[in-house]
Structure 1
Amino acid sequence: MKKRFSLVGFMVLCVAAAGFITLAFFIGSWTGSSGKVSVTGAFAAVPAAITGTASNIEYKVSVPSTDATLAGVTVDFSSPSKYVTFNPASGSVTTDSDGVARIEIVAKANAPTWITTTTIEAACTIGNVKMSGKTEPLSLKAG
């Protein structure tokens, strides 16, 4: 009786095939997961002054060098001044379909005249990436 294949030859063939399958999977995974996406946030609209009349501040979250914007990102607005209020009062808003988080800001009526400026900060987290931005000092005028 003739043998058509040897046991040793069969084992070598199996090991080689397993190696090629593993190599093909590694190469496929490597090329499929390479590259990263940058995300930026920046103030898109800031009033000249914060007054007793409500005005909007906008913070845009996007992917630079593309038209891609990120909707549904929660942006937290804050100010070191206790004479500034936000609407909503929590200071948290979600970006719209254009990637813009828009919040109303008002100066309180009891703001003393010696406080002339304040800044506004916007912060958000996307995945494990934390971003924040701060305005230049804005004029604060009592409402």
Structure 2
Amino acid sequence: MGSLNLSSAVHVLPCPNCRETINTSVRQCPYCSALIDPAAAEVSAAATSRISAACSDASVLKIMAWMLVPFFFLQIVPFLGLAGVGGLLFLRVAIPAMAIRWWIRFGSIKTDDPDFVRAKRIAIIIGILTLLDLVDVIPLHGCA
């Protein structure tokens, strides 16, 4: 049975010539036959992995923001109102924390990748809405 060696892990990257997705184990692109430099491939694969993580985290942030709506309406349902209040309180803390975390980890990435551009737009919108909520312009808590 082979051992798990993290240094020999295979990662994905776009071919520098045709932009098709290939992995770091190939030395020649199977689509366009361009030669792949192993060192450059590892650098490109790391960047691709970081962009993918940014897109994934932005997606989670968007889902968390949309979950504010059901928790808000859950407050008026008998016996479930406490779950709605708890969910809103949790999300009012977790969403700003996740937005700040996203900007710290991924805000400095410079790329023209359309998925990253979309992820950055999501982070900007959620960040602005979170800022407005924190200064109570948008009342996301139950009226007393």
Q: What range describes the TM-score normalised by the shorter chain of this pair?
A: under 0.3
Larger relative contact order (CA 8 Å, sep ≥ 6): 1
Structure number having the greater helix percentage = 2
Structure number having the greater strand percentage = 1
TM-score, normalised by the number of residues in structure 2: 0.28
